[in-house]
Amino acid sequence: MGRSHSLSHRLCRGCLTLVEDKAKVELISFSPDNQKLLTASTDNTVRLWNLKGKTLAAFKGHEGSIAQTFFSSDGKCIFTSSTDGTVRIWDVSGQEITRLAGSPVMSLSFDGRYLATSEDNTVLVWKLR
């Protein structure tokens, strides 16, 4: 761990520290415009941050560990999946738009038109608006 940390200091010109409350960060995703970050923590909360270290929104509701997080291609929606068996789609203010049950694994098409989910040996492909 010390080697990769010292290597990062040689490769980076600056460093921003985002401080979660008390929960450990397990996932990180950049927004398409590289101006925001999503973090998923052990408290089952996803947070949206700007690159100045300010929390812009918190996404709460999952009852299990967060499995995946990502932004829509236009950066206007956030997708989360959890071991509670749900995929949730949120707006960037933290309001839940929709919830899909039984789908802890997901992938979004590059053009943002399709969401694929799975929880077993089948894959469901959802057409998004």
Q: Which residues, including other chains, have CB under 8 Å from residue 58's CB and lie 6 or more apart? A: 45, 46, 47, 48, 94
Q: What pLDDT shows up at residue 5? A: 38
In three-state secondary structure terms, 28 is strand
Read off the pTM. Answer: 0.79
What domains sit in the chain, N to C, each tagged with a CATH number?
15-127 (2.130.10.10)
What is the structure's pLDDT at 55?
Answer: 92
Tens-digit pLDDT string for the chain (129 aa) = 433 333 344 555 667 677 766 788 999 999 999 999 999 999 999 999 998 889 999 999 999 999 999 999 999 999 999 999 899 999 999 999 999 887 777 788 888 888 888 877 888 888 987
Q: How far, in Å, CA of 10 to CA of 79, rounded?
A: 33
Cα–Cα distances in angstroms (integers) from residue 13 to residues 7, 8, 16, in the given order: 12, 9, 10
**CB atoms inside a 10 Å sphere around CB 122:** 7
Cβ proximity of 75 and 93 under 8 Å: no
Q: Give the position of tokens 């509670």.
A: 84
Distance between CA atoms of residues 51 and 38, nearest Å? 11
